[in-house]
Structure 1
Amino acid sequence: MSDLMHRLKALAVLQAVLETGSFSQAAQRLFITQSAVSQHVKQLEAALGPLFVRGPRQLTPTPLAEGLRPYLSQGFAQLQAGWQQAQGRQDNQVVTITVLPSFASCWLFPRLPSFNRCCPDVELRLSVSDQVQDLAAGGLDLAIRFGPGHYPGLLVERLMGDALFPVAAPSLLASQGTPASPADLAAHLLLQDNSPPAMNWPGWLAQAGQADLPVRYGMMVSDAGQLLGMAQAGLGIALARRSLLGTSLADGRLIRLFDSELASPFSYFLVQRPQSAGRPAVGRFVRWLQQEIRQPGSCGAS
């Protein structure tokens, strides 16, 4: 236990790196230098083994780091809740939420200025993770989950469905040509995330009548939001989720290739702890979220 206590600060740094995806962003969040972040991670790696695969532009957590992620998120959330309780104050204006990295970066973050204008007195605390977190154990009020919708013991509301279709960067199409039909995809490199086949290229190709098309798969990434970044960089053609595209089609960063789209078997769900549902601050965020889905840009949090 003494060794663990000695490493609490380094573990807090590791959690920040896992949540932000980079040393520099973790440093900004913690108000320390990037060099200090690197030193803390190196100390943990000396004791445990490699925690990240460091690429020129990407930091990829190893299975060891991914295994630690849910324990860190839940552990520090419980510490925070315990500290607040020990101080004898109930912060009724704080709403704690866990959300997928792809949904956070592509859908939620660009819309949060609207929430801040509607509810400037409500503080959101976001746990960005691709792990399904225990809301009670983590001291969390809400979760926005992408899945089948079965979450026992919690209040569940379907927010919206989704659909998938191929997209590519204008630069890629200019250099390699625009495929005129789904069969032409055989001449292109296809990018994919780790979604199941039913909501990935095999599902879309089957629907387009090209189930046996010999295709070349390029890189695979675990985060659907990062998949769009790879497509924008011209690395290949991606099968994109409509919910995550934002303005990238309207402003020309990506181009949709075909009319055919694959309905996702999963939907976005708002999941609440029953104990949190009656809190006014939680209710204000929920109403804003519902209104933002129905009518983007309006304020429905009052």
Structure 2
Amino acid sequence: MLQPQWLRTFEALVEIGNFTRTAERLDLTQAAVSQHIKHLEARLGPLMLRQSRRLELTPAGHALLGYVHEMQAADQRLQQRLTGDDATQGELSLITPGSIGLAIYPHLLALQHEAPGLSIRHRFAPTAEVIDAVLDNRAELGLVTQRPEDPRLAVSLFAREELELVVPASERVQEWDDLARLGFIDHPDGHDMATRLLSRWFPGNPGVRHLPCRGFTNQIGLILAPVAEGLGFSVLPRFAREAFVASEAIRVVEGSPEVVDSLWLLHRAEWPLSARANRALKWLNARLVSPQSG
């Protein structure tokens, strides 16, 4: 029998890719993390190759990771059966991109205040990871910005989200040279989003890569902090801008045409949503802008 703690350590190490940070995440010593992996490898053979900058799973490592996910899914199904299909009790798990995640999380907390028996587990992740988590039953609900075609997934339109050009409150942008003067605050999706919006608003421009970059952050909630400080402009989704606390220090530039992303709701197609998930979706739909047809 494999010890659950060894499996938790292995899963965390695969996710994080570093022994020291894994030990910090799990509140263990680095020696304990190494010992857990040695115990597993004594039973199963080599699980990972220690490269200089990353860890690479062996076939046995991939098999064990799949086993861990299967055990987690089975445990989740067991917990749901034990608590019954009660909309006020049990775990609600969902995984979303950062922007919509910032928008819905306060509403989820309000739902939990109304139903304290709920335990809400919300993770931020990119589209590929969201799809994998729903397919592996590590999350009951997922939101993505690109519609998947996998037949195992039930997919429906959840909301639409405009891309916005956001500048310091004191700035006025009328032409490309104004953006070049300000400089770009980049983020992981920054170049893609800026290209899609600015190519339509400023046709013939040389491209966002020709603008001076004034900063970069991969934290969705912090992208607008340097903009609020007057250090540059950025392009990001509306929900991320609405969640920014210092709204008086920034300004959304009006322009056309609109560039809008669709947000798609995912869950496994083979079985119905739990009462908890249905309640959460009704709660969120009543508090977010309803999706438009088309």
Shorter-chain TM range is: 0.5 to 0.7
Is residue 202–residue 211 contact of structure 1 (8 Å, CA) maintained in 2?
no
Size of the alignment, in residue pairs? 258
Is residue 185–residue 234 contact of structure 2 (8 Å, CA) maintained in 1?
yes
Partners of 2:65 and 2:265 in 1: how far apart?
A: 19
State the one-letter code of the partner of 1:107.
A
Is 2:40 the counterpart of 1:47?
no
Is residue 197–residue 259 contact of structure 2 (8 Å, CA) maintained in 1?
no
**Other-structure match for 2:241:** 245
**Other-structure match for 1:132:** 130
The within-5 A match list for 1:1-302 is 8-14=7-13, 27=25, 32=27, 36=29, 40=33, 47-50=50-53, 76-83=68-75, 90-92=82-84, 93-104=90-101, 106-130=102-126, 131-134=129-132, 135-148=134-147, 150-169=149-168, 178-183=171-176, 184-195=178-189, 200-213=193-206, 215-221=211-217, 224-232=220-228, 235-248=231-244, 251-256=247-252, 258-260=253-255, 263-294=258-289
* 3-state DSSP of counterpart to 1:156: strand
**Other-structure match for 2:87:** none
Is residue 168–residue 254 contact of structure 1 (8 Å, CA) maintained in 2?
yes
Q: CA deviation at 1:196?
A: 8.3
Q: CA deviation at 1:11?
A: 3.2
Gaps of 5+ in 1: 52-62, 296-302
Q: CA deviation at 1:109?
A: 2.2
Deviations 1:230-276 (A, max 9, x none): 534655211121121125377424322x2115634531111122344
* 3-state DSSP of counterpart to 2:236: strand
Change (3 A) 1:78 1:221: farther
What is the TM-score when the length of structure 1 is the normalising length?
Answer: 0.65
What is the TM-score when the length of structure 2 is the normalising length?
Answer: 0.67
Partners of 1:180 and 1:47 in 2: how far apart?
A: 50
Change (3 A) 1:88 1:204: closer
- The alignment-based identity, stated in percent, is 15
Q: CA deviation at 1:97?
A: 1.6
**Other-structure match for 2:42:** none
State the one-letter code of the partner of 2:72.
Q
Partners of 1:168 and 1:38 in 2: how far apart?
A: 48
Gaps of 5+ in 2: 38-47, 85-89
